[in-house]
Amino acid sequence: MRPAEFLTKLRHRSPFQVASAALRFARGYVVSCLSFERRALVSVRGRLRIMRRDGTISVGDMTDLWPGVKLSCRGSGGVDRARIRIGRNCSIGDRTEIHAGRLVDIGHGAIIAWDCVIMDRDYHSTDNGPELVRPVTIGNGVWIGCRAMVLKGVTIGEGAVVAAGAVVTKDVAPFTLVAGNPARAVKRVAGWRKGRPSLTISRKT
């Protein structure tokens, strides 16, 4: 994001809001320099837990990381490096955890609420065999409700909505609302009206 665009966003804010935002982005810039693959204009609103080994983390500009977010990026060594990629203009809610053993890829403009878990791995197997690790892909403009879980090998299409408390074990089609455990398609959605988090839901199933 260009400096002029950033200043435009702050034009109608109070001095306190501007100072608070400046502190969040300054903290995020330092974090991005120390822990991310590249420097970025990121808002870090509180404690951020980063666990990284044999992996890389990248976060796009203007993304909000709320208090207690955990980013665990741990590869198995050698060429099997783990990656967490988060796009621009995303919001990752309080205490949400993202665990990558290979790849968790989150598109631009995604909103992930509080206490969510996204993981491409199990950290164990049911038969004492090797751990299963399969990439997770979350498309642009996806909205994931509070306390939802997205498990390994899942792709969530652009503009989809995951209801609060849902457990996603299979792919989600674009512009589809899913709910339940395991999550199932409920209806089609029209995506974001403008910005976030206003949403329109079509009557067609």
The catalytic residues are 108
SS3 21: helix
Q: Would you call 126 exposed, middle or buried from its count of C-beta atoms within 10 A (0-12, 13-18, 19+)? A: exposed
For residue 3, count other CB atoms closer than 10 A to its CB.
8
Residue 200 buriedness (CB in 10 A; 0-12 / 13-18 / 19+): exposed
The C-alpha atoms of residue 84 and residue 160 are separated, in whole angstroms, by 20
CA-wise closest residue to 63 among 154, 196, 200, 162: 196
Closest CA to 147 of 162, 169, 157: 162
Contact between 175 and 158 (Cβ < 8 Å): yes
